[in-house]
């Protein structure tokens, strides 16, 4: 099984080393081993990539030739399909994701889903008439034209890197933009491999798609978010870095799109079916809880509290985890030592603030290598406690007791975040009534799945600005030009 990925970046159509040959180590979080050196871009490399993307946007027909774009992006899709089996071990090795997830959202699904925005190129209404209007005594027809925004910087996290890279870059490219992708330093291959396929197996013109890998996000990040030649920053990551990006982009008034953190609540109404609550709660440990839309607060009515806690405790103690290459495991390590230590610090805060620890609570004794944390269950959590308010991004569930639907809604909305949530009830009407009151960008009712390439994804409040995927996500990468012409002209 090969576990060596592309070490070079893609800049202006060429696979290149960083200036001065700088590199950094890609670390496998399950073994803590260096699995390959990767180019470590300098600010100058970033400037060259921006220059190339700008030139490709301004001087090639990428932004105007729809059929050519669709052909090139289909070539990329086909290349990813062909190389899927060699990508699979690379994703597991650098992300530490359980391999079972690569058959779904870590690899197979995003490759399949990229066809949706490619197909949209042909069926999207690039120009529409909005009707006539009289202004200053003149009757005018108005035409709305949609045009690509220009050069897009796509800055992505490590938790679902192929999914986020493709969900950002393919719609941006399909909309006619040129793109510079900067992945997280923990997961460079999930971007450089896409860069390699673009260079080797597509007709995408030089400069249209660029990949910059860098250990220090600030050096390259400041160029991407501050350079006036970049028109739009599409960012997925933490709320803290999102704020920074928004501030850096302000002086040049860039379009900024943010997908940030979450602290989503699952509400079980008192008439819900509680028989599966253990298994569903233990899903919080899936991929070590490293998912922005995970349901990390469980709101359980007093009437079903004790039996639910019993089931959840048993399920948390039985979560299969360890070697990410084992198909039976739902959880591997956390992505790096810093994340593991952050999660362990949150667990200590939970204990200190008085939540009752029912399972886990530390590093697993039986795994001496890798950045593992035990699946951890806290109950009797105060809704205002730190572990109920801050995003932990680890395998930690906070269970909160409530009385009455109104209190459940108020606890769910007691968060600076608003990314996702869930409602369970025997009555669909009652569940929908509660769902309408929750201030989040996505919701699951009675287990329904909202996720798909055609469904907008994003957050309210400090979970973000804008939407990814769906027509709305595509339009994040478009400008609108309103043209008035004499009504008599048509
Ligand atoms: P992060 O914010 O630390 O980093 C995200 C990306 O930003 C990385 O590529 C990083 O190198 C880069 N970056 C960091 N500082 C920068 C700067 N000053 N300028 C430019 N780029 C900079 O996040 P992370 O630790 O990689 O990912 C975890 C976070 O991402 C969690 O908070 C999670 O909720 C969030 N996330 C959100 C979504 C969503 O869709 N809402 C999806 C996945 C992850």
Pair (328, 391) in one structural domain? yes
24/160 same-domain check: yes
C-alpha 244 to ligand 1 mean position (Å): 11
Q: How far is the CA of 142 from the centre of ligand 1 (A)?
A: 41
**Does residue 157 lie in a domain region?**
yes
Query: What pLDDT, on the 0 to 100 scale, is given for residue 66?
Result: 98
In a domain, 490, yes or no: no
CATH number at residue 341: 3.40.309.10
For residue 435, the model assigns a pLDDT of 98
pLDDT value of position 490:
63
The reply to whether 402 and 316 lie within a common domain is yes
Banded pLDDT at 488 (limits 50, 70, 90): confident
Q: Across residues 103-127, what is the average pLDDT?
A: 98
- Confirm whether pTM is higher than 0.75: yes
In whole numbers, what is the pLDDT of the chain averaged over residues?
97
The catalytic residue positions are: 259, 292
Looking at the 3D structure of the chain, how many domains does it have?
2
Tens digit of each residue's pLDDT (9 = 90 or more) over 267-285: 999 999 999 999 999 999 9
259: β partners? 236, 464
145 shares its domain with 285: no
- Regarding whether 107 and 87 lie in a shared domain, the answer is yes
Q: Does the C-beta of 158 come closer than 6 Å to ligand 1? A: yes
Cβ–ligand 1 contact at 260 (below 6 Å): yes
**Ligand 1 pocket, residue 344 CB under 6 Å:** no
Q: Which carries the bigger pLDDT value, residue 490 or residue 413?
A: 413
Enclosing domain of residue 325: 264-452
Q: At what angle are helices 161-174 and 115-123 packed, to 10 degrees?
A: 10
- Residue 109 CA to residue 162 CA, distance in Å, equals 10
What's the gap in Å between 237 CA and the centre of ligand 1? 2
How much of the chain exceeds pLDDT 90, in percent?
Answer: 99
Cα–Cα distance measured from residue 292 to residue 281, given in angstroms and rounded to the nearest whole number: 16
310 falls within a domain: yes
Q: Ligand 1 within 6 A of 244 CB?
A: yes
Q: Evaluate if residue 1 carries a pLDDT over 60.
A: no
Flag whether 64 is in a domain.
yes
- Closest atom, ligand 1, to C-alpha of 241: 2
* Cβ-Cβ contacts under 8 Å for 250 (sequence gap 6 or more): none
Residues 246 and 279 in one domain: no
pLDDT band with cut points at 50, 70 and 90 for residue 231: very high
Nearest to 172 by CA among 73, 87, 242: 73
Residue 3 banded pLDDT, cuts 50, 70, 90: confident
Task: Say if 488 falls within a structural domain.
Answer: no
Q: Are residues 240 and 272 in the same domain?
A: no
169 and 220 fall within a common domain = yes
**Mean pLDDT calculated for residue range 11-20:** 98
Average pLDDT of the segment spanning 154-163: 98
Write the CATH number for 112.
Answer: 3.40.605.10
Same domain, 246 and 268: no
Average pLDDT over residues 97-103: 98
Report in angstroms the alpha-carbon separations of 199 from 17, 81, 269, 283: 14, 16, 53, 38
133 lies in the same domain as 50: yes
Residue 489 falls inside a structural domain: no
* Same domain assignment for residues 154 and 298: no
Q: Hey, which residues does 153 pair with through a beta bridge?
A: 180, 233
Cα–Cα dist 117/153, whole Å? 18
**How large is the average pLDDT for residues 211-233?**
97
Same structural domain, 252 and 366: no
Question: What gap in Å lies between CA 328 and CA 385, rounded to an integer?
Answer: 34
């Amino acid at each position: 099984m090969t576990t060596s990925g592309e070490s070079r970046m893609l800049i202006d159509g060429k696979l290149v080393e960083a200036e001065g040959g700088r590199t950094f180590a890609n670390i496998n979080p399950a073994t803590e081993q260096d699995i390959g050196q990767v180019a470590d871009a300098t600010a100058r490399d970033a400037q060259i990539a921006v220059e190339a993307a700008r030139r490709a946007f301004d001087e090639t027909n990428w932004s105007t030739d729809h059929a050519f774009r669709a052909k090139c992006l289909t070539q990329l899709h086909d290349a990813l399909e062909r190389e899927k089996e060699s990508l699979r071990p690379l994703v597991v090795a650098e992300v530490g994701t359980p391999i079972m997830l690569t058959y779904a959202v870590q690899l197979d699904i995003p490759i399949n889903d990229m066809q949706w925005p490619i197909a949209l190129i042909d069926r999207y209404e690039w120009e529409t008439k909005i009707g006539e209007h009289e202004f200053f005594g003149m009757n005018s027809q108005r035409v709305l034209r949609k045009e690509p925004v220009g050069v897009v910087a796509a800055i992505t996290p490590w938790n679902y890197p192929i999914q986020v890279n493709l969900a950002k870059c393919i719609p941006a490219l399909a909309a006619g933009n040129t793109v510079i992708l900067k992945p997280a330093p923990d997961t460079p291959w999930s971007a450089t491999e896409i860069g390699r396929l673009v260079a080797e197996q597509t007709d995408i013109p030089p400069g249209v798609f660029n990949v910059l890998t860098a250990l220090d996000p600030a050096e390259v990040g400041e160029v991407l978010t501050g350079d006036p030649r970049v028109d739009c920053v599409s960012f997925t990551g933490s709320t803290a870095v999102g704020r920074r990006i928004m501030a850096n982009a302000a002086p040049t008034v860039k379009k900024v799109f943010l997908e940030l953190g979450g602290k989503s609540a699952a509400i079980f109404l008192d008439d819900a079916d509680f028989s599966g609550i253990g298994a569903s709660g233990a899903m919080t440990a899936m991929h070590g809880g490293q998912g922005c839309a995970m349901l990390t607060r469980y709101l359980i009515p007093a009437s079903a509290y004790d039996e639910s806690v019993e089931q959840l405790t048993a399920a948390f103690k039985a979560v299969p985890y360890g070697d990410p290459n084992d198909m039976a495991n739902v959880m591997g390590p956390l992505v790096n030592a810093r994340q593991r230590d952050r999660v362990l610090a949150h667990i200590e805060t939970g204990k200190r603030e008085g939540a009752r620890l029912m399972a886990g609570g530390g590093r697993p004794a039986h795994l001496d290598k890798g950045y593992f944390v035990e699946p951890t269950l806290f109950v009797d959590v105060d809704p205002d406690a730190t572990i109920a308010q801050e995003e932990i991004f680890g395998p930690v569930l906070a269970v909160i007791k409530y009385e009455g639907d109104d209190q459940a809604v108020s606890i769910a909305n007691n968060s600076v975040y608003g990314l996702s949530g869930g409602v369970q009830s025997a009555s669909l009407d009652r569940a929908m009534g509660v769902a309408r009151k929750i201030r989040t960008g996505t919701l699951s009712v009675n287990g329904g799945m909202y996720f798909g390439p055609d469904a907008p994804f994003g957050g309210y409040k400090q979970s973000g600005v804008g939407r990814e995927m769906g027509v709305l996500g595509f339009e994040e990468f478009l400008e609108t030009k309103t043209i008035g012409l004499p009504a008599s002209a048509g």
